[in-house]
Amino acid sequence: NPVSTIPELDLSKKAFKEAVVRHLHSTLGTDENKANNHAWFKAASAAIQELVLNRLRKTQKSHYLNDTRAVHYFSAEFLMGRLLSNNMHNFGLFETAQAALQELGVDLTDVLEEEPDMALGNGGLGRLAACYIDSLATMDYPAIGYGIHYEYGLFRQEIKNGAQIERPDNWRDYGNPWEICRPESIQEISLYGYVETKYGKKGQIQKEWHPGAIVKGLPWDIPVVGYGGKTVNVLRLWESQASGYFNWDVFNAGGYVDAERENVEAETISKVLYPNDETEAGKELRLIQQYFFSACSLKDIIRRYKRAHGDDWSRFTDQVVIQLNDTHPAIAIPELMRILVDRAELDWDSAWEICQNTFAYTNHTLLPEALEKWPARMIEKVLPRHLEIIYEINHRFLSEVEKKWPGDNLMKAKLSIIEESNEKMVRMGNLSVIGAFAVNGVAEIHSRLVKQNLFPEFDALYPGKLTNVTNGITPRRWLKACNPLLSDLISKKIGNDWPLHLSKLDDLSTLADNKTFQNAFMRVKQKNKDALAKEIKQLTGISVDTKAIFDIQIKRLHEYKRQHLNLLHILALYRRLLENPDYEMHPRVFIFGAKAAPGYALAKTIIYAINKVADKINADVRVNQKIKVVFLPNYRVSLAEKMIPAADVSQQISTAGKEASGTGNMKLALNGALTIGTLDGANIEIAEEVGDDNIFIFGNTVEQVEALTARGYNPYDYYYNNKEIKAVLDWLDSDYFTPGQPGELSPLKQSMLDGGDPYLVLADFESYSEANIRLDEAYKDKTRWAKMAILNTAKMGKFTSDRSIEDYVSKIWKLEKCGIE
């Protein structure tokens, strides 16, 4: 029990039980006989929150007294999921709570299901932020997460007649037991207006921004409990509110309705999370969201700094480091310059030095369409002073470029923060590289490509600035809490400190050939599959054979992730079985979970196609003993926690060079799934760890993809040369899967032929098909598969987010731990 060493907290069953009943009475206003599961959830959360807040006070006091350097993790997204089970585990209270509730006649599993997911993120980037703040607290690093308190998180997905429907995510409708509202820390930020040029006492030019609107930021704190319950850091999320400031005139003039309209506009800022839709880029509200949380967070940091250091800026960069999670908060760079130059009246060079020693930037994508650009005109309208500052930063930067590459105007055009297109655009990636002291990619291959392809000239200009920190995941949520059977088995064999020292899992390697352990390991997998099968039945009505291979692809729907490659292969198997009923294959259930951005038409068609193919195959008695296809609606953190422990196979099949890292790949392998994947992102490092015998690698490499596209890739070559490819694509074009509605799935075939197949699905099909045959062969040999699965779990030590955080600390943040009592 990791927490039996917190003396001042009573972590006994008796105390927990009393606290739950007390909250049931005094907080919920109900009693043991009337309470439903939701009331028990609220009461149990309140009981845990008492412990959380006790440790939070101690942590904050200690950080204050020690005047610690801290990392400030700026992220537009934190995909936290549920917190109750996690917080119980981190206090070492899970079993105690389970027993206590049982004595009260309540099943903890049902109670945990009452908690809505905190889905304030789209996918990988948001979940990464959540894993990182978990590790920071666990390892006693002073840290604070800063983000947006969205009223609506990522949309809830329903499937109607096979198609995705988006519904609002009312995650706070019945309150959030974890968050603390902090009106004493409200900040105000400015928007719109104009800039006045003035002359100071010494005749120097001074700029004054006269804003057109002021908005309040109200912070909500979510405590982040480290494993062991010692350090409790916070995630501070800003909610926008009308300041009431500028509305008074209108109000006095009798313009009540207009004043109210301005309130509504201010409160729109934190209303809804943008669902990661490249086609929606350039929306003014999204820019305002980014500035809103960045500016509130900076003010908060500066207020705290000034409390200890007054107006002396000289120690700012000793105390503060800000990590920018992608370019979404990059507007913080000119905002800090504005504060230092216009408000604190520092000279430009001193301000710039502070700035450049404060920020570090993580890049998560190479896809050109995903690199953030804002129209200069829009920034000018919303943040007129910031545009001036950006121009000034750029002007000084370009003279550095001139020194390094005299007369090279092409180079200047390429590196400039400003893209001089028809409409001038501000390149947030360039701004971030210039304004940060460190830039990292998120897996070895990705960081190499950031240096070689995305920012090669910046790498030459700033040697050493560009670096790698391979992503990681927290083993507390992604093994200990989500897979209790496997966790107990592991702890029985190698002791129970692996959640803090994940490399200890390697001790399981010696058991990989041990028959008894293999049986125990595969029995656990079987139980997890049985449980998922029940869930599938409940959610979709589909019955699946739990002896079949559970083959899982879970991730956002995107062409580069190639769910349609998986689908083409399923169609190929379907055809093979129809042509030859004795076709040799172990039964397999293909399970998908994915949300498509609402405006991404082809992604939605792929979801529709998966569901239509599923309907047909699952109902076809000629094949449905061999293959089933399941699309689980509303994929989210809490659903991932149920799917991952049950996976035999992990599909990681992106076009090489496109998936920056992936983190689901790590979660699945950690839980004993075997990867079928391309040499992309962190798959490469997973392969290095588990060895080539324990992973199914296929497909074109990055170099081969580059060569193929350079010599002019033509998907028709594959269409005409491979009968199976032709047959399945033509099949999609018929009305076989959409009876009476021919053409509904044609956009898919279209994209892979006339559309040029931009993600090389056809080029990788054959190799994928062969890898699937190798996989099927391997599964037939139970002993071999068990050994491979065990080795996958055993070799995942590298991918704990604790290691990622130690990498950030040593390479970038330079933090010291601050243990709490």
Residues with catalytic function: 364, 555-556, 561, 663, 667
Q: What are phi and psi of 466, to 5 degrees?
A: -85, 130
125 makes contact with ligand 26Q (CB under 6 A): yes
Q: CB 670 → ligand 26Q: shortest distance, Å?
A: 15
Stretch that binds ligand 26Q, among 192-200, 363-371, 389-397, 563-571 (CB under 6 A): 363-371
Stretch that binds ligand 26Q, among 38-46, 248-256, 362-370, 409-417 (CB under 6 A): 362-370
Residue (450 or 729) nearer to ligand 26Q, CB: 450
- DSSP assignment of 448-508: HHIIIIISHHHHHHSTTTEEE----B-HIIIIIIT-HHHHHHHHHHH-S-TTT-GGGGGGG
Q: CB 272 → ligand 26Q: shortest distance, Å?
A: 11
Report the candidate in 500, 476, 352 with the shortest Cα–Cα distance to residue 803.
500
Q: CB 663 → ligand 26Q: shortest distance, Å?
A: 5
Given the DSSP bridges, would you call strands 438-441 and 425-427 parallel, antiparallel or unpaired?
unpaired
Q: Which of 17, 55, 82, 364 binds ligand 26Q (CB under 6 A)?
A: 364
Q: CB 792 → ligand 26Q: shortest distance, Å?
A: 19
Secondary structure (3-state) at 115: coil
Q: CB 128 → ligand 26Q: shortest distance, Å?
A: 4
- The footprint of ligand 26Q on residues 762-821 (CB under 6 A) is none
- DSSP assignment of 584-635: ----EEEEEE----TT-HHHHHHHHHHHHHHHHHHH-TTTTTTEEEEE-SS-
124 makes contact with ligand 26Q (CB under 6 A): yes
Site string for ligand 26Q, 231-270 (x = CB under 6 A): ----------------------------------------
Identity of the residue numbered 193? G
Give exposure, 182-210, as e/b (b: 16+ Cβ within 10 Å): eeebbbebbbebeeeeeeeeeeeeeeebe
Residue (280 or 776) nearer to ligand 26Q, CB: 280
Residue 242, beta-bridge partner list: 215
633 makes contact with ligand 26Q (CB under 6 A): no
294 makes contact with ligand 26Q (CB under 6 A): no
Burial of 807 (0-12, 13-18, 19+ CB in 10 A): middle
Site string for ligand 26Q, 421-460 (x = CB under 6 A): ---------------------x------------------
- The two tokens of residue 402 are 């001139």
Q: CB 806 → ligand 26Q: shortest distance, Å?
A: 17
Q: Which of 164, 231, 471, 611 binds ligand 26Q (CB under 6 A)?
A: 471
472 makes contact with ligand 26Q (CB under 6 A): no
Our measurement of the distance from residue 225's CA atom to the centroid of its chain's CA atoms, rounded to an integer in Å, reads: 19
Give the HSE-up count for residue 151: Cα atoms under 13 Å, Cβ half-sphere: 11
**How many Å apart are CA 244 and CA 263, to the nearest integer?**
7
| Strands, E assignment, 310-430 | 320-325, 359-362, 373-375, 418-419, 425-427
Q: Which residue is nearest to ligand 26Q (CB)?
A: 124
Q: Which of 35, 128, 235, 632 binds ligand 26Q (CB under 6 A)?
A: 128
- The footprint of ligand 26Q on residues 668-697 (CB under 6 A) is 681
Q: CB 326 → ligand 26Q: shortest distance, Å?
A: 7
663 makes contact with ligand 26Q (CB under 6 A): yes
DSSP structure class, residue 346: -
Residue carrying structure tokens 């206003």: 29
Stretch that binds ligand 26Q, among 117-125, 180-188, 246-254, 499-507 (CB under 6 A): 117-125
**How many Å apart are CA 140 and CA 383, to the nearest integer?**
38
Residue (230 or 446) nearer to ligand 26Q, CB: 446
Our measurement of the distance from residue 461's CA atom to the centroid of its chain's CA atoms, rounded to an integer in Å, reads: 31
662 makes contact with ligand 26Q (CB under 6 A): yes
**How many Å apart are CA 78 and CA 728, to the nearest integer?**
40
Residue (521 or 600) nearer to ligand 26Q, CB: 600
Q: CB 441 → ligand 26Q: shortest distance, Å?
A: 9
CB neighbours of 226 closer than 8 A, spacing ≥ 6? 90, 134, 136, 137, 138, 139, 140, 232, 233
Q: Which of 430, 661, 792, 801 binds ligand 26Q (CB under 6 A)?
A: 661
658 makes contact with ligand 26Q (CB under 6 A): no
Question: Contact residues for ligand 26Q (CB under 6 A)?
Answer: 122-125, 128, 274, 276, 280-281, 286, 364-365, 370, 442, 471, 659-663, 681
